[in-house]
Amino acid sequence: MPVIEVQGLTKTFRTYKKETGFAGALKGLVSRKYETTFAVKDVAFKVEEGELVGFLGPNGAGKTTTLKILSGLLYPTGGSASVLGYTPWKRDDGYRRQFALLLGQKNQLWWDLPARESLELNAKIYGIDRGIFERTVGELTEMLSVKEKLNVMVRELSLGERMKMELIASLLHQPKVLFLDEPTIGLDVVSQKIVREFLRDYNAKRKTTILLTSHYMADIQALCRRVIIIDKGTIFFDGQLDDVIDRFADFKLITIHCDGNKPLPPVELVKFGEVVEQDRQMVKLKVKRDRVIPVCKALLDELPVNDIDIQEVPIEEVIRQIFAR
């Protein structure tokens, strides 16, 4: 049985629409105009135990809303969801003890307490045994290299240190399901990598089911074999990350290196594709997938080619293109 099962999940927000000008303001007093936004629209997916799934989408796509519904923070307008057999918004105590939500954009720790005490408060809320608490904090602070920061006030921690503490706080009760909303946002590349590797190890060791959003493709590539892509509240891709490239990348990159001594002969390069990069001996071309072979042939015919290299467009760019449509 899947750990997470979502069907027809829909969430609308009613927002008050202001009309411009004085007349509009008067009208607003009499009859308020509301606009309905579909933050999430008929979303369905399943996640099996131990999976680490990337949840991708542009700003405002509905990712946070979905995670909040699955955490019981928001009631859906329609549809159903089951996580570990619970309906999240019924807020069963049994459910609360088995999942965690980390919102990278929000501070969930007590700002005015040293990190350790903030974690202790979290442990008290969950009724975690002292010994287990000490052991978990010891192990996790070691893995995330923030052991020596436990006595620092949360407000004085760096962003990366705080995020690591937030992560530890959300793992204290050893949840079976973890919703991570941008856990690496704003972190420097080193901290990002530490958090990323931590999550990979943790998922491998504990078989925790993780649904993760991130705008950093490096996170997604390092962690997720499967991705769910959502746009305007609707899912339009659910499958292997590798297949995203096959499905959506219309181009490949061809790089040729020519004989070092002579400058490139004056060949009309644009007829082959878009010139992405060029210097005296090197040209990088963006070429339609179905044109790659004929273009390679023509390049070999027309230029003194020393070396040729064909690459996929980076996943970052593919995703950017998908979102731009």
Residues 25-54 interacting with ligand ATP (rule: CB under 6 A): 37, 39
Nearest distance in Å: CB 258, Mg ion: 47
Mark out the alpha helices in the chain (DSSP H runs).
Answer: 21-30, 63-70, 93-96, 115-126, 130-143, 159-171, 189-206, 217-223, 241-248, 292-302, 315-324
CB-nearer residue toward ligand ATP: 15 or 311: 15
Nearest distance in Å: CB 61, ligand ATP: 4
Closest CA to 114 of 156, 142, 160: 156
CB-nearer residue toward Mg ion: 64 or 208: 64
Interface region with ligand ATP, contact rule CB under 6 A, candidates 62-70, 127-135, 170-178, 289-297: 62-70
Nearest distance in Å: CB 213, ligand ATP: 7
- Give the whole-angstrom CA distance, residue 103 versus residue 86: 21
Residue choice 7, 15, 145, 311 for contact with ligand ATP (CB under 6 A): 15
- Give the whole-angstrom CA distance, residue 217 versus residue 316: 6
3-state SS, residue 4: strand
Using rule CB under 6 A, residue 59 touches ligand ATP: yes
Nearest distance in Å: CB 181, Mg ion: 6
Pairing of strands 177-181, 52-56: unpaired
Residue choice 3, 52, 53, 61 for contact with ligand ATP (CB under 6 A): 61
Using rule CB under 6 A, residue 65 touches ligand ATP: yes
Residue choice 4, 41, 45, 63 for contact with ligand ATP (CB under 6 A): 63
From the list Mg ion, ligand ATP, none, partner contacted by residue 8 (C-beta under 5 to 8 A by kind): none
CB-nearer residue toward Mg ion: 118 or 170: 170
- Give the whole-angstrom CA distance, residue 176 versus residue 174: 7
Interface region with ligand ATP, contact rule CB under 6 A, candidates 60-68, 75-83, 89-97, 313-321: 60-68
The binding site for Mg ion (CB under 5 A) comprises: 63-64
Using rule CB under 6 A, residue 60 touches ligand ATP: yes
From the list Mg ion, ligand ATP, none, partner contacted by residue 59 (C-beta under 5 to 8 A by kind): ligand ATP
Interface region with ligand ATP, contact rule CB under 6 A, candidates 57-65, 112-120, 288-296, 317-325: 57-65
Kindly list the strands in the beta sheet with 4-17, ordered across the sheet, starting from the edge strand earlier in the chain.
Answer: 33-47, 4-17, 78-83
- Give the whole-angstrom CA distance, residue 19 versus residue 16: 10
- Give the whole-angstrom CA distance, residue 170 versus residue 177: 11
Using rule CB under 6 A, residue 170 touches ligand ATP: no
Using rule CB under 6 A, residue 20 touches ligand ATP: no
- Give the whole-angstrom CA distance, residue 168 versus residue 172: 6
Q: Cα-flanking dihedrals φ and ψ of residue 303, to 5°?
A: -125, 150
- Give the whole-angstrom CA distance, residue 321 versus residue 245: 11
Pairing of strands 177-181, 305-312: unpaired
Question: What is the contact surface with ligand ATP in residues (CB under 6 A)?
Answer: 13, 15, 37, 39, 57, 59-65
